[in-house]
Amino acid sequence: MRGVGVVGACALLAACGGLTAGAADAGSLVDASGADASTSTLRDASVEAPECPPTQASCSGLCVNLESNPDNCGTCGARCGAGLVCAIGTCTVSCSSGTTNCSRACVNTLTDSDNCGACSDRCVPGTVCDGGTCTPVCTPPEVNCSGGVCADLSSDPSNCGSCGHVCSQLADCEKSQCVPYDPCGTLTNCVTDAGSFCTNTSTDSSNCGQCGHACSPEQVCLSGMCQGICAQGQVDCGGKCIDPMTSPMFCGATPGCGVDGGWAGQPCPAGFICTGGICPVCDAPGTVLCDGTCVDPATNLQHCGATIGCGMDAGSPGVACPQGEVCLAGACAIVCQPGFVVCGGVCVAADAGCP
């Protein structure tokens, strides 16, 4: 046997029945142990490469699938002979059920990204073969919906809660639920016969506090309430600017004064004055605060008949009685000495009578 080549050795073995018919094909030579002679020296050529996908191995610098690659079937360099295919890492004559022969590689066209749906239909990077169709690789929480769309089912109005569930044009998707859509955000959406618009009801004098509530021309909208154009610290009450810290009729009032929100305060009862927004007691019961002093309007000559407020922001300041008159029960009157009567606005002797 010295000097006999591989082909010669195979010929001798064939003569002795060592090979079956057709086994001498140059692409499928086997040695006496049954190993493929053309690849027996390459069985240990597989080199793991971290850059290859987990399902592939690096063979001569290329990432290949050892389960189906006919040039590296089962291990790097194990080449299948002519007429054979690579199925599940083994050279065989045909592909098993559920797989397709694509250039002698037995692949599942439903999942193989190099032969997706049909042989040689390769998926582009960033997609995978799913059901024979190249679909995007979605990053959680996104999922793959029909048409190769990655969607977040918790916030996508076209796929809200489930793929294909579309919210109406007046709704948005929040927490996987279609909820009414507010186009105005932090503003208020006012709807009229002419259409809708967004506005700030805190400052809009035509829509103060709520849609359609307009302030009068002499008022402005502040914090959603119509208020007169008053000095700082004053409040519009009944169209008049008052100081709620001292007003006896609107003591303690807040913006809006009970008409456009807020509180109208309280009128201080007779004998009470407003100090710091509250009504303390005057020195004498029944008195009224006039010019900073508690007066009795039933007898006071300067404020005879005055009422609560004393004309400052409410009530009446009363009248000043003329010289020679007195204030009796809130009215100015002439008082004559005993034996005299009032006649024509003067005192005359009672026995003389009025002419």
Residue identified by tokens 């002795």 is 16
Closest listed residue to residue 130, CA positions, set 105, 142, 147: 147
Percent of the chain's residues with pLDDT above 70: 83
More confident position, 293 or 210: 210
- Which are the contacts of 209, defined by CB distance < 8 A and separation ≥ 6? 201, 221, 224, 225, 226, 260, 261
Q: pLDDT at residue 95 above 50?
A: yes
DSSP state, 233? T
Query: What does the pLDDT look like over 311-344, one tens digit per residue?
Result: 776 778 899 998 878 898 999 988 888 878 888 7
Looking at residue 14, its pLDDT comes to 33
Looking at residue 260, its pLDDT comes to 67
Query: What does the pLDDT look like over 187-245, one tens digit per residue?
Result: 888 988 888 889 999 889 899 989 999 888 777 787 887 876 777 788 888 778 888 99
- Which are the contacts of 318, defined by CB distance < 8 A and separation ≥ 6? 290, 297, 300, 302, 303, 304, 305, 306, 307, 310, 330
- CB of 101 within 8 A of CB of 85? yes
Query: What does the pLDDT look like over 8-55, one tens digit per residue?
Result: 333 323 333 333 333 333 333 333 333 343 333 333 444 444 578 888
Looking at residue 220, its pLDDT comes to 77
Looking at residue 280, its pLDDT comes to 67
Looking at residue 270, its pLDDT comes to 67
Q: pLDDT at residue 85 above 70?
A: yes
Looking at residue 182, its pLDDT comes to 73
In the structure encoding, which two tokens stand for residue 221, read together?
Answer: 């909208």
- Rounded mean pLDDT of the chain? 78
Q: Which amino acid is at 118?
A: A
Looking at residue 32, its pLDDT comes to 31
Q: What number is the average pLDDT over the span 55-82?
A: 91
Which range has the top average pLDDT, 6-15, 178-187, 240-249? 240-249
Strand ranges, E, within 90-204: 90-92, 100-102, 105-107, 127-130, 133-136, 143-145, 149-151, 171-174, 177-180, 188-192, 195-199
Helices (H), the chain: 6-15
Q: pLDDT at residue 147 above 80?
A: no
- C-alpha triplet 147, 152, 153: angle, nearest 5°: 90
